[in-house]
Amino acid sequence: GAVVSQHPSRVICKSGTSVKIECRSLDFQATTMFWYRQFPKQSLMLMATSNEGSKATYEQGVEKDKFLINHASLTLSTLTVTSAHPEDSSFYICSASRSDQPQHFGDGTRLSIL
């Protein structure tokens, strides 16, 4: 099956640090990549959708200047949490899809801001 790799899997850093998370589709070209966030005991919430070579579309309530998304190629998207604060601590998961094919999820990144 399709493989999506997400890195790093775990990040612990100080408040004010910017953190970059990578999402790679390893065996297919992903026309669209998605970024989700999941707080404890809550559902996965879509943060933004990105198509290769164009600006990401953010969901309502998600600050685009806070969560920078770059989708420079068909196999790589990055999410940068700028000036992270403790309330940004969460489980961030990416997914990738091609055309109307199902989304394939990465392993997730657990972010802890101290």
Partner 1 sequence: RKEVEQDPGPFNVPEGATVAFNCTYSNSASQSFFWYRQDCRKEPKLLMSVYSSGNEDGRFTAQLNRASQYISLLIRDSKLSDSATYLCVAILNTGFQKLVFGTGTRLLVSP
**Cβ-based neighbours of 106, under 8 Å, separated by 6 or more:** 4, 5, 6, 23, 93, 94, 95, 96
Minimal distance, residue 43 CB to partner 1, in Å = 4
Give the Cα separation of 38 and 4 in Å (integer).
18
Name the minimum Å distance from CB 112 to partner 1.
12
Can residue 91 be called a binding residue for partner 1 (CB under 8 A)? yes
Q: Which residues ranging from 37 to 66 are in contact with partner 1 (CB under 8 A)?
A: 41-46, 49, 51
Q: Which is nearer to partner 1, 80 or 91 (CB)?
A: 91
Positions touching partner 1 (CB under 8 A) are 32, 34, 41-46, 49, 51, 91, 93, 95, 97, 100, 102-103, 105-108, 110
